[in-house]
Amino acid sequence: MEDKSIRLGSNKSAAAEPGRQDKVMKNLIMKLKVMRDTRGQDLIEYALMAGFVAVAAGAIMPGVATSISTIFSKVASVMEAATNAGS
Sign (positive or negative) of CA dihedral 41, 44, 50, 51: negative
CA distances from residue 40 to 36, 48, 52 in whole angstroms, order as listed? 11, 13, 19
pLDDT in tens, 42-81: 788 888 999 899 888 888 888 888 888 888 899 899 989 9
pLDDT in tens, 8-24: 555 555 455 667 788 88
pLDDT reported for residue 16: 52
Q: What pTM was computed for the model?
A: 0.39
State mean pLDDT over 30-34: 75
pLDDT reported for residue 77: 92
pLDDT reported for residue 18: 64
